[in-house]
Chains A and B, each alone.
Chain A
Amino acid sequence: MDGETPILDVRGLTIALPAGADRRLAVDAVSFTVRPREIVCLVGESGSGKSVTGFSVMGLLPKTLRATGGQVLLAGEDMLQATPQRLRELRCTRMSMVFQEPMTALNPVMTCGEQIDEVLRAHTTLDAPARQRRIVDLLGRVRMTEPERMAAAYPHQLSGGQRQRIMIAMAVALEPALIIADEPTTALDVTTQAQILELIKDIQRQFATGVLFITHDFGVVAEIAHRVAVMRHGRLVEFGPAADVLSHPREAYTRMLIAAVPGMAPPARAPAGLKDEVLRVDRLAKTYETGGWLGRKRSVNAAAGVSLCVRRGETLGIVGESGSGKSTVARCVARLVDPSAGRILIGGQDIARLAAGALRPFRRKVQVIFQDPYRSLNPRRTIRQSMVEGPMNYGLGAVPALERATALLDLVGLEAGALDRYPHQFSGGQRQRICIARALAMEPELLIADEPVSALDVSVQAQVLDLIEDVRRRLDLAILFITHDLRVAARVCDRVAVMRRGEVVEEGLIEAVFLEPRHEYTRALLAAAPGKDWQFGALAAG
């Protein structure tokens, strides 16, 4: 592979940010290459400039961003100098892009076949029957069963993985020399992700394509990359063969990033002991019904026959893919939705059917940390207002409420000065700390963490997980931890329940479930985790 002319040669690419941004340059003198038949992973945390780099190749930069220096050579031709007309000709014929979220990246009102057809119509002179044959052939090549039916379907009728296959079929329709994949598996479930990664590797071999794969996930990097480019704050930190970068990172930042990835093997934990039960869920079920007089009636079993128990001082993880019902269970326990059947015992009392008034004392005992700290704090209220509101609702005076808020901010590692600021003035990690402090201000007995680190970068993720662990130990809290990420579960949970299609398929101590899974679904989940063969947890920072 060495010595071949690169298909993509980025030289000193510099992209300016609009005035008033937090830094001057989105991308600062970045250089790297992608050779034919090679997958180069561009890795970095949010704001590192990795996606902007990808968009600049396609000529798809938003109007506010401007490339101010360097070259982006696609087979020797500088894309930064190309006219809009030339860029249009090259898109999909020489370079294609696969986007992160296939639901929003596909037009919802056109069939998948029409959307692929557009590419063929724009760039070829094929007649309609020939294009139709080509579409069916392409869908077969991205491993879709029943290609004709898929071509006639609308995006919303397909699953996430199927949609991403459509995107990939569209991208490879004209066998481009370069595919830029911008976080193509981030929005997908882990088993689907494994299939799509396999497909991308396969396509890249089949079509001899160079792939620039943009990701934040080192597991994915370990799975598919030939070479890795690490970016931070718009600069290229490190660039080299994947094995070298992953096992012998030269730069401290790369080492820190890799060390922050939790390992798949659960760390040894002090046994929690058999303390009193805080939460017992008994044959919980939730059925959603839609439709009625003017529509067809549909019902969905979001959860069925779920039984769980969490004791003081322990963390029970619920893992599963999207639609498995894990969040439904969390919402039922917090009584944010009403369960259809079953019992929810908090400290021995059943709250599954309590009316709003009678529920009030229990609301304090169960607190929730949500996934997206950007949206779960009211943007128009200061941190002080958000934090004292709950305790004061339960009768605490203004002065002690403020004292408690200050103490908790200190506990989660924020200064008291944070109290008078607004949520937008904090980073994602800081906001999630605030959300944790806000939940703790209610002195709960049970903390429900619903994907609390999924929206965070990996280095921040590690800190927030440490914080949750620390809080549990210090306050002897019971935690119900919902996550789709097995690595995260391995890191913080004492016990884990695996859910699929509304049912718990396996439950047990974390070591038992992860190291000797009994259910085939658990085994499939563990097998699908990207980079599972890589000993991420073993590499120490330093």
Chain B
Amino acid sequence: MLAFIARRLLATIPVLAMVAVFVFLMLRLTPGDPAAIIAGDNANSQQVAEIRSKLGLDQPLLSQFAIWSARILRGDFGESFFFKKTVTDLIVQRLEPTLALAIATILLSVLVAVPLGVIAAYRHESWIDRGVMALSVFGFSVPVFVIGYLLIYVFAIELGWLPVQGYRPIAGGFGPFIERLILPACTLSVIYIALIARITRASMLEVMNEDYIRTARAKGLGEATILIRHGLRTAAIPIVTVIGIGIALLIGGVVVTESVYGIPGIGRLTVDAVLARDYPTIQAVVLLFSFVYVLVNLAIDLAYVFLDPRIRY
């Protein structure tokens, strides 16, 4: 088992290396000059050239890459062109809001979606089932920003129950922290609730037809025990897979949601860095994202082992 985890972690190295090459080339091969952006509209060509040489952008591509990757291997992601800070500091600073939003979203999604899916499957073809399915179609089809503005309008502006936007670190007290997290997390979780509820329902429907569910009934067990202990546990693998994919896809959703609610997280950082052609920041963020993807996948694989004793690595 430990050997498996070690092997999987080692396997992330070539993946990250490929991502690094890819990001590096993509940025350099797209039009637009960061030096010109930093220098501003009034700068003359000499000033731009100075900035370019200061950033090392006048070097040949290959040596830029060599310098950059040598630094990364030492854990130094360089200094942001645009924010004038080291990229590491920048990311650490922006990490908390995004993590808080992501965790709140996933928790909310799972806590709402899994029971919904289980109930829908248990009451298959009843009005509850059809209701859950209808909600799920709705959740899939409405864009994140529409839900975001809708929730802000109803709960923040009309009812005035929650703040419109912003973020307070958890260090400043749990109340204000969670108050500002509710609407963004609800917004972001709609699509995940739709997705996870659907998968839970489908997976449960399949499992509830299995022979061992009949055996459980024949043992005289109660319906709740049958549903949770025998049903949900074996139905969990597809559900966990989707939750994992959800976590990975969350990054896309975070960008939009953070913009709508003015949360200073990684999502916003990514957007700002792209607009400013801030190469070091973009590179670091993309590398971070791909590392998270790999870790999430590893976590899913480990969850399989925990859920199903037939799976062994």
Contact = CB atoms under 8 A, between A and B. Distances in A.
B275 interface: no
A154 interface: yes
Main secondary structure of the interface of B (DSSP, over half): helix
Q: Which of B217, B225, B307, B313 has the most CB of A within 10 A?
A: B217
Contacts of A119: 219-220
A354 to B, nearest CB: 37
B307 A109 contact: yes
A295 interface: yes
B4 interface: yes
User: Which interface class (under 10, 10 to 19, 20 to 34, 35 or more) fits B?
Assistant: 20 to 34
A91 B220 contact: yes
Interface string B189-212: 000000000000000000000111
Given A104-B212, A109-B233, A92 B218 contact: yes
Contacts of B234: 107-109
Contacts of B310: 108-109, 154, 156
Contacts of A294: 4, 7-8, 313
Given A109-B233, A156-B310, A295-B313, A91 B212 contact: no
Given A108-B234, A156-B310, A92 B220 contact: yes
B100 interface: no
A104 B211 contact: yes
Contacts of B230: 107, 110
Given A109-B307, A154-B310, A295-B313, A99 B215 contact: yes
Contacts of A295: 313
Given A107-B234, A109-B308, A123 B212 contact: no
A476 to B, nearest CB: 45
Contact of A60 (B210, B218, B309, B313): B218
B287 to A, nearest CB: 24
B211 A99 contact: yes
Contacts of A109: 233-234, 307-310
A391 B214 CA distance: 46
B216 interface: yes
A295 B311 CA distance: 11
A118 B216 CA distance: 9
B218 A101 contact: no
Given A99-B211, A167-B215, 10 more contacts: A60-B217, A88-B221, A99-B215, A101-B211, A106-B212, A108-B308, A109-B233, A110-B230, A156-B309, A156-B310
Interface of A: 58, 60, 87-93, 96-97, 99, 101, 104-110, 118-119, 122-123, 154, 156, 167, 170, 294-295
7 closest A-B pairs by CB: A91-B220, A104-B211, A107-B212, A97-B218, A105-B211, A88-B220, A154-B309
